[in-house]
A and B are shown apart, each in its own frame.
Chain A
Amino acid sequence: MAEPARPVPASAPPAGAPPGPPPAAGGKPPAMPTVQEFGLWSGFEGREELLGRGLVQLLKTVIADAPYQHHLNDAALKAHLSAIQFAKNLGLLPQLVAHDVKTLSPVNKRVGQLVARTGNPEYGLVGLFERTDCWYQLVLEWKVEPGRRTWRSPFHTVLAMGSRIGQFDLTEQEIHEEWTVPRIMGYAADIGIKVKVSPWHESGWLSCELSA
């Protein structure tokens, strides 16, 4: 009989340990896993329906390629564009930005406590970017470096398609300068860190970095 493709280990290795059972110390047999540890778990037990719904939404969006290839951020981009265009039309864009910064301030001030306690402004960047679903579900192309985050403006395709049929008259540069930059600066002020956001670049690649 052939060996099973995935032999059952004698015990679960501790996190970060090399694969394989831990060596016996002092002639003692390796520690036995608990019954719970002996099982295999996805982490979604009890949330199968939630996972299924999320998957269906994801697959429906990624497979939609007419009249353009949709990405997971499509609906969120349109919701933001609709609100930004509305505020612009009424001359209320700075007020929308202020409203947004104020709405997020309870969360940002909480992150600010962590920054103050640790003295590490990197927590502030993590709070602004990789921990926040409003960021990482909107911006799909981005890079993390110490003290710096780089991303590609996510609005290009949806804005181009919407502008073609008269839905928006915004430009990506305008969104960057009048929406993205003041919002990030406002969030950072609440967190208590100093950041510098790059000016608009035609490639759409932008950055935010900690500044002294």
Chain B
Amino acid sequence: MNARTATPAAKPVIAEVPPHAPKAGAAAGTPAAMLNQYKTLSGFEGREADLGLSMSILLKMLGNHAGYAHEMNDPLVKAHLLAIQFAKNNGTLADYIAHDIKTMEPINLRMKQIIEKTGIREIAMVALFDRTACHYALALTTTGDGRSRTWQDPFGWVLSQCRKIGQFDLTPQEIHETWTIPRLTGYGASMGVTLKVSPWREDGTITCELVDPD
């Protein structure tokens, strides 16, 4: 720099360095929590290996076009189809649903306590749809909030492929009516709320709503 052309030193500009939104972890208001708000965190710190492994599986899944384009929920859909078809063949589908509702009771009864304590019945919807890997890993298109959730039937695509080679004789409508609806209404009953599930629609759109008690 040429000293003769230098402009007089100006006061440095102080940049804005705002804290990030608080994250779960250190107790709010403590120095540790304030310090954490200045860190840029992904939320996956310490879980890099699990994240990398999961990414690898995701890319493998979506790269698999053998027979048909596989989606992320493929093995979960097939695990459910296998069990539903088995129960149907044995005439025990209603028993299987009762078993499933009973299996989920320890969690759903806990949710009932939380709903009763808070008076917030929408917690049932969060528990069923937003918090539960068993739903969001199955129904990848779920949207909605508050008292309603909507998703696309997750079984039709895989069923249409697998029926071609004789693996299943189920239909998406049959699954909706004899498995999805009774399970959801059963889970709702365990949580002490009433749920209304839409009847089968040909485009596969399913809606579940929290309704007021009679």
Contact = CB atoms under 8 A, between A and B. Distances in A.
Interface of A: 43-44, 47, 50-51, 53-64, 69-72, 74-76, 78-80, 82-83, 85-87, 89-90, 92, 95-96, 99-100, 103-104, 106-107, 131, 133-134, 136-138, 140, 162, 165-168
B140 A57 contact: yes
Nearest to A102: B167
A186 B24 CA distance: 48
27 contacts: A54-B62, A57-B73, A58-B58, A58-B72, A60-B133, A60-B136, A61-B137, A62-B47, A71-B50, A71-B54, A72-B53, A72-B54, A75-B137, A78-B133, A79-B80, A79-B83, A82-B83, A82-B103, A86-B96, A133-B64, A133-B70, A134-B74, A136-B57, A136-B60, A137-B74, A138-B75, A165-B106
B137 A99 contact: no
B135 to A, nearest CB: 8
Given A58-B72, A60-B136, A133-B64, 11 more contacts: A43-B63, A50-B71, A51-B62, A57-B137, A62-B50, A72-B53, A83-B83, A86-B99, A99-B85, A140-B57, A167-B103
A79 B62 CA distance: 21
A162 B134 CA distance: 14
Given A53-B140, A54-B58, A103-B85, A140 B80 contact: no
A87 B86 contact: yes
A97 to B, nearest CB: 10
Interface of B: 43-44, 47, 50-51, 53-55, 57-58, 60-64, 66, 70-76, 78-80, 82-83, 85-87, 89-90, 92, 95-96, 99-100, 103-104, 106-107, 133-134, 136-138, 140-141, 165-168
B133 A50 contact: no
Contacts of B134: 74-75, 78-79
A166 B106 contact: yes
B99 to A, nearest CB: 5
Nearest to A61: B133
Nearest to B83: A83
A106 B166 contact: yes
Contact of B61 (A54, A90, A166): A54
Contacts of A69: 47, 50
Contacts, number: 143
A172 B71 CA distance: 29
A59 B72 CA distance: 13
B28 to A, nearest CB: 18
A36 B21 CA distance: 43
B166 to A, nearest CB: 6
A138 B205 CA distance: 28
Contacts of B51: 58, 62
Contact of B165 (A76, A89, A106): A106
Most buried by B among A69, A74, A76: A76
A107 to B, nearest CB: 7
A96 B86 contact: yes
Nearest to B58: A54
The 8 tightest CB contacts between A and B, nearest first, are A83-B83, A75-B137, A54-B72, A165-B106, A79-B79, A106-B165, A134-B75, A72-B54
B158 to A, nearest CB: 11
A48 to B, nearest CB: 11
Contacts of B44: 59, 62-63
Contacts of A87: 86
Given A79-B76, A99-B89, A54 B140 contact: yes
Contacts of B168: 103
Contacts of A162: 103
A86 B83 contact: yes
Contacts of A59: 44
